[in-house]
Amino acid sequence: PRIIPGFMIQGGDPTGTGTGGESIYGGTFKDEFHSRLRFSHRGIVAMANPNEKDANASQFFITLDKCDWLDRKHTIFGKVTGDTLYNVMDMGKLETNEEDRPVEVIPKIVNVEILWNPF
């Protein structure tokens, strides 16, 4: 994972290099945007991409603050809700190296609960 304090936590690369992973569809898939889904607060979960249109694969990120400059550039597909948001904010405070990778503790998401329309 990568952690950039005040911005985001990125994960989803099974190779651990920051450039790997493919979607469950094989290859990449198209961006999906909705006018009501915006990077308006912390806890937004979205697809990471290499700054290319329709290049979504397996990597994702969770915002640690408002990131409105990302609107319509990354597919939003979720939101961290409830007390779990405090865990995300704690992950955002972990010490990182010059490559934005955690120094000691490597955080992992071990389970999720899907809520119908958390927005």
Question: Could you say which of 37, 70, 85, 94 is catalytic?
Answer: 70
Q: Does 70 qualify as catalytic in the annotation?
A: yes
- The torsion angles phi and psi of 62, rounded to 5 degrees, stand at -120, 125
Catalytic pick from 7, 37, 38, 101?
Answer: 7
Has 10 been annotated as catalytic? yes
Question: CA–CA separation, 107 vs 94, rounded Å?
Answer: 9
User: Which residue is catalytic, options 2, 39, 42, 64?
Assistant: 2
Active site residue 94: no
Q: Is 7 a catalytic residue?
A: yes
Please state, in angstroms and as integers, the Cα–Cα distance from residue 44 to each residue in 17, 26, 65, 98, following that order.
23, 25, 9, 25
Instruction: Look up 39 and say whether it is catalytic.
Output: no
Q: Which of 42, 60, 61, 64 is catalytic?
A: 61
61 is known as an active-site residue: yes
74 to each of 42, 71, 90, 103, how far by Cα in Å?
A: 15, 7, 24, 27
Active site includes 59?
no
Q: Which of 49, 56, 59, 60 is catalytic?
A: 49
Active-site residues, by number, are 2, 7, 10, 49, 61, 70, 74
